[in-house]
Amino acid sequence: MDTIKITSSVGETIIELMPTPRKNLAELERLLIKIQATWLRCKFSVGKVCADDAAWEQMKQAIALLPIKDCPDGTWTKLDEISSDYAQIERIFFAKKCNVMEENGTIKIFDFTEFVGSEICWIHRFNCDEILTQSSQFNTAMVESDNVEPK
């Protein structure tokens, strides 16, 4: 089973997280779409997303859905411990490479040839391209209307 390793600043594993149970998959996907929509709106700036209080709360909610490997009944609720490790946050929640085309300042086309999705998407075998596409659609809807929830 794949896991996500959360590491300290010196590279030691703090905790390993397992995939969320099936009953939480829809909620996790919904949160990922909202988080990545903010990432798109922030022009792929992980720092700007982390500075957004609503997005940070969504990331905390998402990570809390993943059980701890050594304690499957427990969840890790200490995302704040790595709040300034932006590379690690990027690895967990966002993508490593993403080429985009813009039209009139709006992201329209993704080039998925080099796209590597987030670890949280990979361990759940979500289609990373589809999550990003849905995030783009949600982002567009948010621009057009203030409070649209992803489906």
Tens-digit pLDDT profile for residues 104-134: 555 555 555 556 678 999 899 998 878 878 8
Question: Is 47 a domain residue?
Answer: yes
pLDDT of residue 144 exceeding 90: no
| pLDDT reading at 22 higher than 90 | yes
Rounded CA separation 100/108 (Å): 8
Is residue 149, in this structure, part of any structural domain at all? no
Confidence at residue 116, expressed as pLDDT on a 0 to 100 scale: 65
Domains identified in the chain, total number: 1
Residue 59 belongs to a domain: yes
Q: Is residue 150 part of a domain?
A: no
For 140, the domain range is 4-144
End-to-end CA distance of the chain: 28
pLDDT band at 41 (very low <50, low <70, confident <90, very high): confident
Domain-located, residue 44: yes
